[in-house]
Amino acid sequence: MISRIASKYPSDNNAIIYEGSCYDFVKTIPAKTVRSIVTSPPYNIGKEYEEKVDLNKYYEEQERIIDECVRILTDDGSICWQTGNFVENSEIVPLDILLYPIFQKHNLKLRNRIIWHFGHGLHSSKRFSGRYETIMWYTKTDNYIFNLDAVRIPQKYPNKKHFKGPNAGKLSCNPLGKNPSDIWEIPNVKNNHVEKTVHPCQFPVGLVERLVLALTNENDWVFDPFLGVGSTIIAAIKNNRRGLGAEIMADYIEIAKKRINLAFDGLLKTRPVNKPVYDPNNPKINLEYEELSYEQLPLFEEENSFRYAK
Ligand SMILES: C[S@@+](CC[C@H](N)C(=O)[O-])C[C@H]1O[C@@H](n2cnc3c(N)ncnc32)[C@H](O)[C@@H]1O
């Protein structure tokens, strides 16, 4: 079978996974090639895939990859750097604040600091439990792609009309839906989430899809230097874009490839970004997508892949 996932750039394939460090891979990508970069880098908190280093060293490493990301970005492109906190002795360093000067150095324009709010996580005893992370959305220039209509969300009162003035009787809100705002309520990928794999820190595919739809056009390249289990490439493929990324951990690469192949076949089940968050006080919101976890299912047996069909 011809692989649909290439291992190096350039390729005619719509998905590329470089099995190694992003610092090596990014050098092989020409300037102004990718329309969007969506990533969640290691936070330097000692996860299984990272070595905890001095914060100055972490900053330098992030600077090295961000410099390269700016180089390979098209002039109308965007960078979305999704981060949380570096934590030590219950003291936090918000990584978006730490890294801001690197983007400023390149004169990138910060368009939104999106708050990604979620319901689950560690319970702190020495500070309030952390329940949000941020996505810093930067553009390279003032002339950038922003397809707002592609990511509108349902209006709360879609039939509301102007009751006076020249527009009396006409709809007062956009029938295509409303701007999703800069606060996104999206469940994080914990054990009861349909997208859960062995990776400890996946971001939800729906979160990336909203960015990809808004910030790129069809066939554009979307790059994730820290690919993990492939969520960014999956979001790209699902929306007729092309995705490329690097990952150093063999286990994650294997899972990424399997998930991406399921996505190519339209068989990977992901949580729709606009699906209401489960509310125990509102039984109308069902658990369809939360009930079964990725780990509970025999995912990688071909004959069972139908279980991921929509
Ligand atoms: C926060 S996770 C990203 C998870 C990803 N967003 C997903 O949904 O699966 C960071 C990832 O970066 C990978 N990583 C760490 N250093 C790397 C490097 N130098 N090059 C490529 N990947 C790296 C880690 O193995 C880890 O999977």
Of ligand 1's atoms, which has the minimum distance to the CA of residue 225?
Answer: 21
Tell me which of 1 and 190 has the higher pLDDT.
Answer: 190
Tokens at residue 287, please? 């658990």
CA–CA dist 235, 212 (Å, integer) = 7
What pLDDT is stored for residue 285 in this prediction? 54
CATH of the domain at 280: 3.40.50.150
How far does residue 174's CA lie from ligand 1's centre (Å)? 39
What pLDDT is stored for residue 301 in this prediction? 27
- For the chain, how many structural domains are there in total? 1
pLDDT in tens, 267-288: 999 999 988 887 777 755 544 4
Of ligand 1's atoms, which has the minimum distance to the CA of residue 205?
Answer: 8
> Given ligand 1 and candidates 229, 248, 259, which is best to mutate, with the most ligand atoms within 8 Å of its CB?
248
How far does residue 156's CA lie from ligand 1's centre (Å)? 37
Of ligand 1's atoms, which has the minimum distance to the CA of residue 199?
Answer: 9
Of ligand 1's atoms, which has the minimum distance to the CA of residue 229?
Answer: 9
What pLDDT is stored for residue 281 in this prediction? 77
With 60 as the cut, is the pLDDT of residue 154 above it?
yes
What pLDDT is stored for residue 284 in this prediction? 59
Distances (CA, A) of 234 to 32, 59, 102, 198: 22, 28, 28, 17
Residue type, 31: A
Angle CA(80)–CA(84)–CA(90) in degrees, nearest 5?
165
pLDDT in tens, 237-262: 999 999 999 999 999 999 999 999 99
Q: 299 pLDDT band (50/70/90 cuts)?
A: very low
DSSP 83: E
CA–CA dist 228, 44 (Å, integer) = 15
Rounded-to-5 percentages of helix, strand, coil across the chain: 25, 20, 50
Cβ atoms of 116 and 134 closer than 8 Å = yes
> Given ligand 1 and candidates 190, 227, 231, which is best to mutate, with the most ligand atoms within 8 Å of its CB?
227
What pLDDT is stored for residue 289 in this prediction? 41
- What is the domain extent for residue 304? 5-308
Of ligand 1's atoms, which has the minimum distance to the CA of residue 246?
Answer: 21
Torsion on CA atoms 272, 6, 244, 229, rounded to nearest 10: 50
How far does residue 42's CA lie from ligand 1's centre (Å)? 6
- Compute the residue count for the chain: 310
**Any residues with CB less than 8 A from the CB of 278 and at least 6 apart, and which?**
187, 285, 287, 290
What pLDDT is stored for residue 291 in this prediction? 40
With 80 as the cut, is the pLDDT of residue 170 above it?
yes
- Cα dihedral 278, 280, 281, 284 sign: positive
Name the residue with the closest Cα to ligand 1, atom 27. 228
How far does residue 199's CA lie from ligand 1's centre (Å)? 10
CA–CA dist 86, 95 (Å, integer) = 6
- Cα 242 to chain centroid, rounded: 15
Nearest to 72 by CA among 110, 29, 39: 29
For the whole model, what pTM was predicted? 0.91
**b or e along 260-293 (b: 16 or more beta carbons within 10 Å of the residue's beta carbon)?**
bbbbbeeebbbbebeeeeeeeeeeeeeeebbebb
> Given ligand 1 and candidates 133, 226, 259, which is best to mutate, with the most ligand atoms within 8 Å of its CB?
226
pLDDT in tens, 82-107: 999 999 999 999 999 999 999 999 99
Ligand 1: list residues with CB < 6 Å. 21-23, 40, 42, 49-50, 199, 201-203, 226, 228-229, 231, 246-249, 252
